[in-house]
Chains A and B, each alone.
Chain A
């Protein structure tokens, strides 16, 4: 079974802190994604990566950056956390060079609260 793990299930940070969210997948997938999930808004793509050291902006990249130094690991960085970044963050991975046909495999999520 594909497994996508996220470093924390719950995280509480203060405004202005730099926050790192880690995601690891164990199935050698090429593609990895970071979403945020908010009630009534569904899932919105922050960043994705289709290869090591490659990244592309999603729909809401402002205030975030990412790092993919190894194929299995994709990190989301909040440079200076703000209260409007309080949300559920979901990491996902998918196989293959063609994104569109493949299902995505999701981690359990990290619920981040910024106070």
Chain B
């Protein structure tokens, strides 16, 4: 069965430090991949998506992610964390060609330390 794994349910970084949130998928066929962010008491909003074009995808708020087929990964990065980045981040995958749904990871809560 397909799955999405986010390593680390909680990640803390200092303000100005690199943000790295990990996402691995299991699928024999590379899926479409998405990162969403959820701020407190809000719904999810799209940060970026990979749909088989460029492997390095740039998103909003300075985030980017790189699709690596050999590692079945789609890690999210940001060079310099800001206090406003504190939120929960979800990786999601959907299969190419027919499946009706996303598979969401369990989320990573990012804390930014002053």
> Residue A101 at the B interface, CB < 8 A?
yes
- Does A101 contact B90, Cβ atoms closer than 8 Å? no
**B interface majority secondary structure:** loop
Give the bracket for the number of chain A residues in contact with chain B.
Answer: 20 to 34
Report the bound CA distance from A4 to B51 in whole Å.
Answer: 24
Which of A44, A48, A101 has the most chain B CB atoms closer than 10 A to its own CB? A101
Q: Count B interface residues, CB 8 Å.
A: 27
- Does A103 contact B34, Cβ atoms closer than 8 Å? yes
A33, A43, A56: the one contacting B90 at CB < 8 Å is: A43
Report the bound CA distance from A63 to B12 in whole Å.
Answer: 38
Which of A64-72, A75-83, A104-112 forms contacts with chain B? A104-112
16 interchain pairs, CB-CB under 8 A? A4-B43, A40-B106, A42-B107, A45-B101, A48-B100, A48-B101, A58-B101, A59-B101, A90-B44, A92-B44, A99-B99, A99-B100, A100-B99, A101-B94, A106-B36, A109-B43
List 4 A-B pairs, minimum CB-CB distance, nearest first. A106-B43, A100-B94, A42-B106, A43-B104
Residues of A within 8 A of B (CB): 4, 9, 33, 40-45, 48, 50, 56, 58-59, 90, 92, 99-101, 103-109
